[in-house]
Amino acid sequence: MKFVLLTLCLAFSVSVMAQDLVLDVWPHGAPTGNGLSGPEEELENNRVANISVAKMYVYFPDEKMNTGAAVIICPGGAYIREAMSHEGYEIAEWLKKNGITGIVLKYRLPNGHHQIPLEDATRAIQLTRYFAKEWGINPDKVGVGGASAGGHLASTLGTRFSSGNINSNDPVERFSSRPDFMLLLYPFIFHQEEDMQAANKKIFFGDDNNWETAQMYSSQLNVTELTPPTFLVLADDDKVVLPIHSIEFYMSLKKYNIPAEMHIFQKGGHGFGITKMNMPVDQWPDLFHCWLKTIKMVD
């Protein structure tokens, strides 16, 4: 894969790890800061906090089985940490084995700056399309996925995307940030007006916790005929993000006849990711792969 020249032209910081490629989302500095500083905090089970630098971890499939599809994955963690393994790297590994480029986005945590994660997700999908030819990706088969808070971020991108600025001096910004499909695992979808003064809202909104702002991040209110096809997975016994979040989003999709498939498993709780629990919820990756065939993203 001949992506070295493009990488050098954009001066990206690149290193090879367990992933095939790691690069900075904002090598020259992000347009806005989230107020966090110091090293990232490594927590239990490969969860990471205090994230102030966004990175993309890319997993390329074998060229012989490459479908041309890609998924940018946003791990969850209530916007105060990110579960990088079972809601990130392990999903990317599964995608890679099935001929799909998996890209884990370690987005900057909001720390009271609500626009920060969406800035990173927008840039990540534009970068993926910029590098599409070099990475063996079809730019019309780039999806976004996310779990819990990462599902909120993914659904926000899918309902508040940019068509790109063809006149920009930055070649990356010329690309659309609209996902071609969405994978939402037990996603948080909407805020409620009566809860906007709650202390935990400051984590995401800071002092800008008015209802008008919150509506921008209540994805069921922002669905249009351009919202991409969506695959939803959740458990009926989820007590952290109640099933009504996914149900409301599904109903909004249906108002615009957006293709969608939703699986509500009896058991699984919250945060199951792609780890094996010996429960029916473990079937979701194969169901997702079948759905991708249905919407003609893979053969």
The tens digit of pLDDT for each residue in 246-265 reads 999 999 999 999 999 999 99
In the predicted model, is pLDDT for residue 9 greater than 70? no
Q: Report the share of the chain in percent with pLDDT over 70.
A: 93
The set of residues, in sequence order, having a beta carbon less than 8 Å from that of 99 and lying 6+ positions away, is 61, 62, 65, 66, 67, 69, 298
Q: What is the pLDDT of residue 4?
A: 39
Whose structure tokens read 């989003």? 249
- Per-residue pLDDT averaged across 88-110, rounded? 98
Strand intervals (E) in 88-163: 101-106, 142-147
CA distance linking residue 273 with residue 268, whole number of Å: 10
Q: What is the pLDDT of residue 234?
A: 98
Helix (H, G, I), strand (E, B) or coil at 127: helix
Whose structure tokens read 């993914």? 154
Which range (17-21, 56-60, 120-124, 285-289) has the least confidence? 17-21
Architecture of domain 4-294: 3-Layer(aba) Sandwich (3.40)
The tens digit of pLDDT for each residue in 163-203 reads 999 999 999 999 999 999 999 999 999 998 777 767 678 89
CA distance linking residue 262 with residue 272, whole number of Å: 16
| Entry pTM | 0.93
In the predicted model, is pLDDT for residue 282 greater than 80? yes
Burial class (CB in 10 A: 0-12, 13-18, 19+), 242: middle
